[in-house]
Homo-oligomer: A and B are copies of this chain.
Amino acid sequence: MMTPMARAATTSDVFNAIAEPQRREILVLLRAGERPVNELAQELGMTQPGASKHLRVLREVGLVRDRKAGKQRLYGLDARGLRPIHEWTGGFERFWNESFDRLDAYVQDLKQARQEE
């Protein structure tokens, strides 16, 4: 029994949403203010459908909000969802600071355990 259950949790969470380079670019652009889809697509060199799809993902995880403005639809940033990521990575801060010492000792070990590979 048991369907092979390919891929586990993936879509629909902020970590995944910002794993895509173009989506990160969209977010950066939106810091300057709301923008209609076409403008975003043009400024980022992507097709309109392409922009719409990425915007959809961003909207589904709550990183952007949209509102109608005439024929256009303006997308705006809602960065609150990035905070958890900032905090999660922040939980490793002391480690990347310690890194010098730790890596140094680490490298020593490596030199002695030179039977590597």
Complex-state Cα separation, A96 to B79, whole angstroms: 5
Complex-state Cα separation, A93 to B86, whole angstroms: 9
Q: Are B15 and A68 interface neighbours, CB within 8 A?
A: no
Q: Is A89 an interface residue (CB 8 A)?
A: yes
- At the interface, is chain A mostly helix, strand, loop or mixed? helix
12 further A-B contacts with Cβ under 8 Å, apart from A8-B22, A68-B116, A78-B103, are A19-B19, A65-B106, A67-B106, A79-B92, A79-B96, A80-B96, A80-B99, A82-B96, A86-B86, A86-B89, A86-B90, A86-B92
Q: Which residues of chain A have a CB within 8 Å of any CB of chain B?
A: 8-10, 15-16, 18-22, 24, 27-28, 31, 65, 67-69, 76-80, 82-83, 85-86, 88-93, 95-96, 99, 103, 106, 109-110, 113, 115-116
